[in-house]
Structure 1
Amino acid sequence: MRVLAAMSGGVDSAVAAARAVEAGHEVVGVHMALTRNRAATRSGARGCCSIEDAGDARWAAEILGIPFYVWDLSEEFEERVVADFLSEYRAGRTPNPCVRCNERVKFDVLLERGLALGFDAVVTGHYARLRGGAVAGRPGEANTLELHRAADAAKDQSYVLAVSGREGLSRALFPLGDAPSKAAVRAEAERRGLPVADKPDSYDICFVADGDTRGFLQRSLGAQEGNIVSPDGEVLGTHGGYFGFTVGQRKGLGLTRPAADGRPRYVIETRPRTNEVVVGPAELLRRTVVDGKDLVLLDSPDSLADGVGRQDVTVQVRAHGRPVPADVTVDAAAGTLHAVLRQPLRGLAAGQSVVVYGGDDGGRVLAQATVA
């Protein structure tokens, strides 16, 4: 099978490409250049598109003996990820740029170009497992494809992949899904002589060069002084823009006097229309109901309906968040999801991704939606 290996410059994608070569596939490596200003990108491997990453990816491809190319996807990344990130914060929501990048660039754009060039599938270093269905290189019906958690729960990325849906995932290969640990992947990279074996993991938002998300938002959207208020409307302080705060945030509020009862305050909500940030006690963050829109089904609506009240149905609202038992129903025609939580969640914000898990082991992805 002719496959396109997405090589970020990190150890995971390098080992994934190596495993694809070892499996007998005809592999071509490609590095996605996602930023328009390479000089502004952080160094030291903090982000996933740092200035040294293209060189590291090329070096790994040379060792593997595969062709290698750099594709400039900065325009697509700017339009589909960065612009969406700013638009969501402007609307008072909290987006997950990694979810959007996986959906709109690493799968949509890369796969679209790859298929146009005659490739059969895309190989990435994501930690997740695909079973059954029309998984690339394996027979089966597309409507039986299943996305499952990775063997290594600490590195599992099924949460960010769920938004890609069956169609996108049917042309994907995740060779690291069964890897027992990141340490094992690093050891394998060292055995293979790959130069990125000890490279640190990427973290933070890759297009926020200095890691200061609030500063990035204020520079991009403009400082807008407003009030920090209590739930009953008392003005407690000021801020430079509601978009610089997220629900559940405790630090960086800039308040000079404590609450009357001495308890810490948290961001309860942001109000774009009035440019207000509402803060209050932790109990106001508790949510027992989650509604989602833009539904992506990886299982049938009947299966989810049958799962109402079952203990093996859980929802997760952060990449490495705690799965919470829930009663879940979906409306496939309306593209909505409704979950009643058996345990309350704190700090749930509009714009986050909610993923539903079930199955015999609780690790199968059933659906994904955006918190409304």
Structure 2
Amino acid sequence: MARRLVTVFGASGFIGRTLVRRLAQQGWVVRAAVRDPIAAEFLKPMGDVGQVTPLRADISDAKAVAAAVSGADAVVNLVGVLYESGRRTFDAVHVKGAATVAAAAKAAGVPSLIHMSALGADKNSESTYARSKAAGEEAVLAAFPGATIFRPSVVFGPDDDFFNRFGKMAMVSPVLPVFTADGFKPVCTEEGCSIDLFGSGGPIFQPVYVGDVACAMINVLNDARLAGKVYELGGPRRYSMKEVMELVVSTTGRPARLVPVPFGLGMFQATFLQLLPKPLLTKDQVRLMKVDNVARGGKPGLAELGITPTAAETILPTYMKRYGKARPAGADEAA
């Protein structure tokens, strides 16, 4: 039986590398479509010789995209940006680039297309990122009506840009921020009055494990009956931002103190932080956090794909401990 061929755009990214490894394990031949194939050479050992091939295909280049999807049995588009930089705007990547991939896949007669969106996708959102994700979904479905859309919450795993970011912050800062819209309110009881600093604990997240996301995609690729739907992917538990930071503290062992930050102050800080080469925070990200990042219901999710979601508490200790304090030399012997 001939091996199936899949083209994965964004294959060298956080989710992409996990997906490529698992596709190769299942016998797929993988075209890893990336902007820099030399930098993506690390993907090759994930399969047998010649099974995983990085090739240059920027989604803004229609000819390169068409060549990348030619003859493929399936296409997966994972390309996305968290902040705008130069020509890589939200519109260019999430809308126009996604439409280019979808149109090329349709023209090439590719049977299956998976498009990565986000739980926050909303054409009426204050966030440009969220609006572009919604517009991208519409553009993909217009070009490839049978496409499968995945909307994950925050995706976590060893190479994530969520828990790792806060872990790095805990190493260099004695405080960790908790954005809140209803904190700093006086609370009075029969015993007296106090100030509720955190309120409800800030925005709510439903982190989903990268391995579960990759498994979900593979299940769709392996079973045509699951394709052509919009899936909301979330983990087994919802966490307030305060609870997320408490997880960071507990898994790193760092004695960081949690500090409530009103959204207004967060917007002010982001004005300057977004000017960094790799922004720590942008004003658009602050706007995005004003809406809970959780499954809204009414759409199928991991359960419908036969997957039991993995809890963050199970995985975080395996990689967040890198941000803990170094043990003194001879500590094990002394113990």
Tell me the TM-score normalized by structure 2: 0.32
Q: Which protein has the bigger helix share?
A: 2
Q: Which protein has the bigger strand share?
A: 1
